[in-house]
Structure 1
Amino acid sequence: MKLRTLLLFWVSFFSCSSYADTINPAVMNIVELEELVYEVKFDAPSEIVSGNTFKAILPNDCQEIEQTFLCGESLDNREISVDFDRFRSNNNLIVNYTNNDGKTFLGYLGSDNTITLNITSNVQMWLSFVEVGYFHVLVGIEHLLFIFCLLMLVPSRKIFRTVLSFTVAHAFALVLIAYNVFVISSQAIEVIVALSVVLLCYELLQPRRLSLVYSHPVMFALVCGVVHGAAFSSVLKFISKGQLQTVQGIFFFNLGVELGQVTVVVAFLLINAFIKRTGLCLREVSDFRKASVYLVGGLSFYWVFNRLNEWSVVLGI
């Protein structure tokens, strides 16, 4: 419990400086309308767009003509960059490129604001989907907080079953919602995801004998897995505009999500085992543990109320 408290504290501390007002990232969509003619559009949450504009910087042989670019050569496997007139948000920008042959590349913009549109084979295309799914988990602070809080509550003997239940549930939900079997408002999903973290924080403050999550972690993981799967599906739809809602696109994006989640869980368990083995444990301080939980809970409440406010604006309430 000592290490778990420390890890939770540092993750929550990091989240203070992170954008978590929306699940969806910023996206630059590049589509080859006809041979060597490209349309470039940016789609980003309002808090990133406000007071900030993005500009695509294509190779020198590309000329901008009436909101499209005419290039001397294909953009396949070439480097492009993005210019931000004020700031680059903490929300990483995803580049979604589709060429005239229907091949798609997804990737995160590099730290130097450049990216190479690697389209060499179908394998490279599917790997780009895995990469985006993988890193979306690692940069998604809410999902990380949820996993950390859940691992703090779950008895060691039930960790495998709980994580497996959560994984199966959100993979199942991602597929169903991606194919529009169920339609759920993305605003509602964002609110419920934040509420799931709030609930875990509340449970962490309860005696174990009174904690429903501690007593029934598998059932709780199944329910929340559906919610988080819906959130991942919302992201997939947002970044692809429906282009990746194929069996392969969903499979490889989901594979990346699962690999990212496994990485987080395994890292947590390995560090926990190492600390226990070496005896490098901090002295348990009840106030410190409570402060960590209150910090995460407070941040999650802020996200809930902020999203409810944005939702009310959208609905005109």
Structure 2
Amino acid sequence: MIKNRTRKISDATLLCCWMLFSGILILFSTTIFADDLRPIYIEVEQIENDQYGVRIKKPPKVTEANRPSVVFPDYCQQLAKTSNVRLRAGVPVAVADIWMCRQSIDGEELVLRYPLFIVPNPAIVKVISLAGASYTIALASGDTRWEMPRAEDINGIAKQYTWLGIEHIWIGYDHLLFLLCLIWIAGTWKRILVTITGFTLAHSVTLALSALEIIKLPVPPVEAVIALSVVFLATEVAKGRSHSLTWRRPVTVSSSFGLLHGLGFAAVLNEIGLPQTEVLSGLLFFNIGVEIGQAFFAILVILLITLVQKIAGAKIDIKQWSQRGVGYSVGCIAAYWLFQRVMGFAV
């Protein structure tokens, strides 16, 4: 009787812990839904030999009162604000700020300044030269300074685009939850390795084809179907082990959906731009960054499951015991994303 009572207490404790975890996940999911960590996009474009136009696109959660601005070196002077300026190809484009500099700012440090406080969002800086060449610089969360590029350098591209890929996968919550479900279903180390490899190869193909504009699909429907893919896997997890194709051959499902997720990665890459003269290098290192981010996440999940299993003891299969909680929690979040994204392009 004492043993049974102890086991009941142990089960009740684990159940309470899991309910608390699910509650915290759902509570903080509103932050995830709001895309709080979407990057700030900054474009610095050389208009004339001595003039630069600056445009900044901020996510909704960065308030207008805290809209950042770019500060140039001391030998530059900010001109009066204007609503239009003639840029390359002679097209009038709205610009927030125009700076005139007595000398080139190549290699100089520019600063992103916030009126109130520094936000945790990462930033993507796109620099466009007078000749039309563009360069992309990734700023990590909290970074506010960057060096203006002199010319495209393979080492710089490798560093910037690898970091871009890592950062994107870690703030791409839909991709992470998809990976979590894949790991849950695959089970063993060998099956996890094969499943994630299939996902990687598949999304690498569509990432390359879409980034190089060989195939083109509208982004909103793609994002909606990615959310649907997470709902599908979460449902499979909640149902538990079965004879369905997903449980028998998870690599088939991961590869199929991987083609779709690659289009999502490409949408981000197309938005920030590839290097002008090192297109393939930028594409390669971005993909490498995505794979590094995936690998770290997978290892972290596996270690966490192993740790919780050791704490729970051999009598309780923690994955089987908690699979409904995981499935329902992930499914609710993904269903919200699906509704939000469908409404976004359907309205």
Does residue 150 in structure 1 map to residue 182 in structure 2? Answer: yes
Residue of 158, 173, 183 corresponding to 1:141: 173
Partner residue, 1:108: 139
Aligned residues: 304
Q: 2:192 aligns with which of 146, 153, 159?
A: 159
1:68 aligned partner = 98
Tell me how far apart the structure 1 counterparts of residues 187 and 249 of structure 2 sit (CA, whole Å).
Answer: 10
Distance 1:227-1:95 versus aligned 2 partners, 3 A rule: same
Task: Report which structure shows greater RCO (CA 8 Å, sep ≥6).
Answer: 1
1:255-280 deviation line (CA, Å, top 9, x unaligned): 1111111221223334444555xx22
Q: Alpha-carbon deviations, 1:203-230, whole Å to 9, x = none?
A: 1111312443111211111111111110
User: TM-score if structure 1 supplies the norm length?
Assistant: 0.81
Structure 2 residues without counterparts, runs of 5 or longer: 1-13, 83-96
Structure-to-structure mapping, 1:1-317, within 5 angstroms: 9=22, 14-19=28-33, 25-44=39-58, 47-48=60-61, 53-65=67-79, 66=82, 67-72=97-102, 73-83=104-114, 88=119, 91-99=121-129, 102=133, 104-111=135-142, 114-117=144-147, 119=149, 121-156=153-188, 157-240=190-273, 246-273=279-306, 279-281=310-312, 284=318, 289-313=323-347
209 and 243 in structure 1: CA distance in 2 versus 1, 3 angstrom threshold: same
Q: Distance in 2 between matches of 1:235 and 1:16?
A: 22
- Larger gyration radius, structure 1 or structure 2: 2
Indicate if the aligned counterparts of 1:21 and 1:307 stay in contact, CA closer than 8 A. Answer: no
Retained in 2: the 8 A contact 1:119–1:125? no
Secondary structure (helix, strand or coil) at the match of 1:81 reads strand
The change in CA–CA distance for 1:259 and 1:285 in structure 2 (over 3 A counts) is: closer
Report the alpha carbon displacement of residue 25 of structure 1 after superposing the two structures with TM: 4.0
State the distance in 2 between where 1:221 and 1:68 align: 48
Deviations for 1:172-205, whole angstroms, at most 9, x for unmatched residues?
Answer: 1100011222111100111011111111111111
| CA–CA distance in structure 2, aligned partners of residues 287 and 273 of structure 1 | 14
Alignment deviations for residues 276-295 of structure 1 (CA, whole Å, 9 cap, x no partner)? 5xx22376498864334322
TM-score using structure 2 length: 0.75
- What is the DSSP-based 3-state SS (H/G/I as helix, E as strand, rest coil) of the residue aligned with 1:69? strand
Provide, for residues 134-159 of structure 1, a one-character-per-residue CA deviation record: whole Å limited to 9, x for no partner.
Answer: 11111211111111111011131311
Q: How far apart, CA to CA, are the structure 2 residues paired with 1:31 and 1:267?
A: 41
The CA RMSD over aligned residues, in Å, is: 3.4
Report the Cα offset of residue 77 of structure 1: 4.4
Q: Is the 8 A contact 1:96 1:104 kept in 2?
A: yes
Work out the CA distance in 2 between the residues paired with 1:286 and 1:169: 29
Once the two structures are overlaid, the 10-residue window that deviates more, 204-213 or 184-193, is 204-213
SS in 1 for 2:192: helix
Q: Which amino acid aligns with 2:135?
A: T
Following the alignment from structure 2 to structure 1, what is the Cα–Cα distance between the partners of residues 319 and 187? 20
- Consecutive unaligned residues of structure 1, counting only runs of 5 or more, are none
CA distance in 1, matches of 2:158, 2:231: 35
Percent of counterpart pairs with the same letter? 25
Could you tell me how far apart the structure 1 residues matched to 2:336 and 2:277 are? 32
